[in-house]
Amino acid sequence: MKIINFAEQPSLVSQYLAEMRDTGMQTDPLRFRRNLERIGEIMAYEISKTLHYRTVEVPTPLNVNASCQVIDEQLVLGTIFRAGVPFHQGFLRYFDRAENAFVSAYRKYKEKENFDICIEYLASPRLDGKTLVLCDPMLATGASMELSYRALLTKGSPAKVHIASVIASRQAVDYMASVMPENATLWVGVIDEEINAHSYIVPGLGDAGDLAYGTKE
């Protein structure tokens, strides 16, 4: 699996990540959601450079056709509820002709620090031969992402797979490399080295879903 770590080359992603991590700015859910969207937009642009294109002749007002390059792959943007929604929206702003898939994956706790990942909901088009971009802002252990990917495979086999996350733990990156297809690509804003006993990334930023949409019961 190829890994693209945006932190290796400082950019606007670094600025947005700093704002998202900052406890002094986390009281503004609108800014938090917008920063998720912005990072999604930037990653979408970078992913677009890896796609196949074809040449089309486009009519112009001057009665002369222009030769233009357009995407020659059918994209499916997949996201994991709920923190993934604004991140997904950033991708959709750029890949506006993409199809969309949604997965509900959540932690079902047995004890305080013991939980299973459960898939509750799946809505997806057929994936056969398409390019799947699967988005989840936080990649802590990789378990939710893997289970969501396995669930989506019930809808067919994509030709290409891109995984996109804002923050990933080193453990999750290593795990994804062991379970994802060899030709998959992981796009990540930054890789943090640790996760704690509650499976939160350290230093991370906390619960992205709560910061975007409010605390849950």
Please tell me the predicted confidence (pLDDT) of residue 19. Answer: 98
Q: What percent of the chain has pLDDT over 70?
A: 94
- Domain-by-domain residue ranges, the chain? 2-194
pTM for the structure as a whole: 0.92
Helix (H) or strand (E) run with residue 117 in it = strand 114-123
Query: Using one digit for the tens of pLDDT, what is the confidence trace for 94-122?
Result: 999 999 999 987 656 555 555 566 778 89
Amino acid, res. 98:
A
Place of tokens 């459960």: 118
Please say whether the beta carbons of 190 and 9 come within 8 A. no
pLDDT at 216 over 90: no
Dmax over CA atoms of the chain, in Å, equals: 69
**DSSP SS3 for 80:** strand
The CATH number that domain 2-194 falls under is: 3.40.50.2020
CA–CA gap between residue 77 and residue 124 (Å, rounded): 9
The secondary structure of 22-65, three-state, reads CCCCCCCHHHHHHHHHHHHHHHHHHHHCCCCEEEEEECCCCCCC
Please tell me the predicted confidence (pLDDT) of residue 83. Answer: 87
Quick count: other Cβ atoms within 10 Å of Cβ 137?
A: 28
